[in-house]
Amino acid sequence: MANAVGGGGGLAAAVDGVRGEQLLGDVEEIVRSVVDAEVTPRWRRLADSDIEEKHGPHDLVTTADRQAEARLTERLTALLPGSVVVGEEAISADPDLLGLLRGPDPVWVIDPVDGTSAFVRGDTGFSTLVTLVQGGQPLLSWTYAPQLGHFATARRGHGARMDGQVLRTAPREGLRLWISNPVFRFADERAAIARLSAAGVETVPCVTSAGLAYLEVARGLADGVAFFWEAPWDHSAGLLMVAEAGGTSLTAAGKPFSIPGGNALPFTVARDADTAARVVAILRGDAEAGEERR
């Protein structure tokens, strides 16, 4: 399985070619095995000593997060020599590692347990997210929700699938959006969410996993997300998955979301371009945005 795809400038072409499908399968095998070894056995079995606060009671890290990220880092960099890792827990220890996303090397963006608070609560709504990025662009992504039995992959230019089925966004009656967890909102963010509600938008607070919110959009079960933070490990996999399912991203500045950062917030990743434009207009408070196309 080692050396499935060479690093460097030929990576994007290799991903677009036959070997991209091989890499999808190889990484799926790695993700499944690491989660099955380090995450699933600890679900609903965490000791107090397995749980720590990073920046407060709503920002947790567990032994499962750390062990899974370490194992994924080891195996993914061995699979793709010359690649580097931007992982949530590594960045917590050394924020300067974010700069790797702007460099030339292939980058594995890893969220070992997306929805750690849900994992700690014993909720099923957590996932493991991995994205292969180069030059700031996502090339491949993997989303694994072990307790829900879902595994989704996306490959640039070749679509997105969950459990072997093609994913497509879909038009719906009304507008249903996943939004940031209320515990992390500031006054201006609460005002933007209030504008969504005033425009008749159904909002669903993301109190579990952002990766699973993106999966709902890609499956046609929701119209988009409206988020106020840009951590690449939370968004990279879903960004590619929704794009390959027919959707698009848009920031408050009217630009696509950038994985390396520097985005004008909030942003949306929505089922199509018209929906994305409407969501951003409402979030910004553009005149009569909530009445358009209602």
pLDDT of residue 18: 66
Task: Give the separation between CA 98 and CA 263, rounded to whole angstroms.
Answer: 14
Single pTM value for the model:
0.93
DSSP secondary structure code for residue 23 in this structure: H
Is pLDDT above 90 for 219? Answer: yes
Is pLDDT above 90 for 43? Answer: yes
If you write DSSP's letter for every residue of 83-108 in order, what string do you get?
Answer: -EEEEHHHHHH-GGGGGGGGSSS-EE
Task: Give the separation between CA 215 and CA 225, rounded to whole angstroms.
Answer: 11
Per-residue CA distances from 163 to 4, 39, 62, 76, 217 (Å): 22, 20, 28, 22, 16
Closest of 148, 151, 174, 153 to residue 163, by C-alpha: 151
Digit-coded pLDDT (tens) for 149-197 = 999 999 999 999 999 999 999 999 899 999 998 876 788 999 999 999 9
Closest of 91, 71, 147, 84 to residue 115, by C-alpha: 147
- Residue 112 one-letter amino acid: P
Strand (E) or helix (H) holding 215:
helix 210-218
pLDDT of residue 4: 43
Is pLDDT above 70 for 72? Answer: yes
If you write DSSP's letter for every residue of 42-68 in order, what string do you get?
Answer: GTT---GGGEEEEEETTEEEEHHHHHH
Digit-coded pLDDT (tens) for 235-278 = 999 999 999 999 999 999 999 999 999 999 999 999 999 999 99
Average pLDDT, the chain: 92
Kindly give, in sequence order, each residue whose CB lies less than 8 Å from that of residue 38, ignoring residues fewer than 6 positions away.
64, 67, 68, 71, 112
| Residue with tokens 């595994």, as numbered in its chain | 151
Q: Which two tokens stand for residue 292?
A: 């358009």
Q: How many CB atoms lie within 10 A of CB 162?
A: 19
Is pLDDT above 70 for 1? Answer: no
Task: Give the separation between CA 268 and CA 13, rounded to whole angstroms.
Answer: 29
The proportion of the chain whose per-residue pLDDT surpasses 70, expressed as a percent, equals 94
Is pLDDT above 60 for 291? Answer: no
pLDDT of residue 208: 93
Interval 30-50 mean pLDDT: 98
Is pLDDT above 80 for 14? Answer: no
Digit-coded pLDDT (tens) for 106-151 = 999 999 999 999 999 999 999 999 999 999 999 999 999 999 999 9
